[in-house]
């Protein structure tokens, strides 16, 4: 049994952090489901930008849509929904067999809406309605403007993947928004079973401090942040507030590890996957990391609910001059800016594909 399947048996869901039309048409995604127990996937603007840039899988579709008068964001969302609804259908048996716990795919609202709560709420509802798939999450950032949009979207019955969370405190704010939305649904007599995950970004912490700390602390901050967040997650699930919601039929907002590809070439390529093995969580892996872990990863002891020595590790970073509270806010701002840049690059790439002359058919 490969390590990916062992993680699945431990109780952790493995989702692919990638989507391309080639993955779908080649049968590769189906193979990952079968061989590596992949039970969902995520997407973001950067992933789609790279997918459209490489190869010609989207060229004809872009040109056809452009000739029909579609362009810009509208054209992109048509492409994305075509891919993601197809992927959602592949994962639908898993979604059904797990009672909606697993088998999800994710689509992000436009990053240009990051500071606009009302527009985010409207876009989330519209995109989910267009998809017509019960196992499609709409990704909303856990920013100041995003938190009320998360609550309102959950209340409206839109499943949400809360993205761009970097700390325990940001996670708790997202979890509170989810619970408020569910409490409002219960008070209104609505079904409380609305899917939600909270995505904690891990490796970017270590990139941010790699030139600020010594070798003894290298590549250890992201894992420490994840561990204290996991403790908060377990504490929340044991709290009376959540137990009341669960008794009414609500689903837990599952904790998801994002950005788990190793950025440091001197570190093991499966560093974060091995360290973040934890039941009742999700790890969304870049394709390269998934293949590496299935090949030579090791499933070690599961993460301890109490957080282990994470607090002591964070104290070492504080003594080294790292203000992780301020850094979490900075990383969230930088993450939102990076997605905005990727979004603009994506739209520019689509425009360039439209402008490029059509290739002559091969004879």
Average pLDDT for the chain:
95
Does 7 score more than 80 pLDDT? yes
Angle between helices 168-187 and 146-155 (to 10 degrees): 30
| 321 CB-contact burial (10 Å; exposed 0-12 / middle 13-18 / buried 19+) | exposed
SS3 163: strand
Q: What is the pTM of this model?
A: 0.95
Sheet with 160-165: list strands edge to edge.
38-41, 13-16, 281-285, 254-258, 196-201, 160-165, 136-141, 105-108
Q: Can you give the pLDDT at residue 308?
A: 72
List domains and CATH numbers for the chain: 3-355 (3.20.20.70)
For the stretch 75-112, pLDDT in tens is 999 999 999 999 999 999 999 999 999 999 999 999 99
What are the catalytic residues? 139
Does 278 score more than 80 pLDDT? yes
For the stretch 217-273, pLDDT in tens is 999 999 999 999 999 999 999 999 999 999 999 999 999 999 999 999 999 999 999
SS3 149: helix
Longest dimension (CA), the chain: 69
Q: Can you give the pLDDT at residue 289?
A: 97
pLDDT band of 307, cuts 50, 70, 90: low
DSSP-assigned beta bridge partners for residue 141: 163
Residue 101: other Cβ atoms inside 10 A: 17
pLDDT band of 356, cuts 50, 70, 90: confident
pLDDT band of 361, cuts 50, 70, 90: very low
Nearest to 205 by CA among 170, 172, 160: 170
Show Cβ contacts of residue 267 under 8 Å, excluding neighbours closer than 6 positions: 218, 219
Q: Can you give the pLDDT at residue 357?
A: 74
């Amino acid at each position: 049994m490969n390590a990916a399947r062992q993680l699945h048996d431990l109780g952790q869901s493995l989702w692919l952090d990638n989507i391309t039309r080639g993955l779908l048409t080649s049968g590769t995604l189906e193979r990952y489901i079968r061989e590596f127990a992949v039970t969902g996937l995520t997407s973001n603007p950067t992933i789609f930008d790279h997918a459209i840039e490489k190869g010609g899988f989207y060229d004809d579709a872009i040109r056809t849509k452009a000739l029909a008068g579609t362009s810009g964001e509208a054209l992109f969302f048509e492409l994305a929904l075509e891919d993601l609804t197809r992927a959602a259908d592949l994962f639908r048996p898993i979604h059904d067999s797990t009672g909606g716990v697993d088998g999800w795919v994710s689509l992000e609202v436009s990053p240009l809406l990051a500071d606009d709560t009302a527009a985010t709420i409207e876009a989330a509802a519209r995109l989910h309605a267009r998809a017509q798939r019960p196992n499609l999450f709409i990704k909303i950032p856990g920013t100041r403007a995003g938190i009320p949009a998360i609550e309102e979207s959950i209340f409206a019955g839109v499943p949400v993947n809360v993205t761009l969370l970097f700390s325990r405190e940001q996670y708790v704010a997202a979890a509170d928004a989810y619970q408020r939305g569910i409490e409002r649904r219960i008070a209104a007599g609505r079904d409380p079973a609305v899917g939600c995950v909270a995505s904690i970004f891990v490796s970017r912490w270590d990139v941010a401090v790699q030139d600020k700390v010594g070798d003894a602390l290298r590549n250890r901050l992201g894992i420490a942040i994840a561990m204290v967040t996991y403790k908060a997650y377990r504490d929340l699930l044991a709290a009376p507030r959540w137990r009341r919601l669960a008794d009414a039929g609500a689903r837990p907002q599952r904790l998801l590890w994002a950005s788990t590809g190793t950025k440091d070439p001197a570190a093991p390529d499966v560093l974060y996957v091995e360290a973040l093995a934890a039941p009742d969580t999700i790890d969304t892996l870049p394709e390269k990391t998934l293949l590496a872990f299935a090949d030579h990863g090791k499933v070690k002891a599961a993460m301890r609910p109490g957080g282990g020595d994470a607090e002591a590790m964070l104290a070492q970073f504080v003594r080294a001059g790292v203000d992780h509270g301020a850094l979490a806010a900075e990383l969230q701002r930088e993450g939102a800016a990076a997605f905005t840049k990727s979004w603009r690059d994506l739209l520019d790439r689509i425009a360039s594909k439209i402008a490029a002359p059509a290739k002559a058919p091969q004879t």
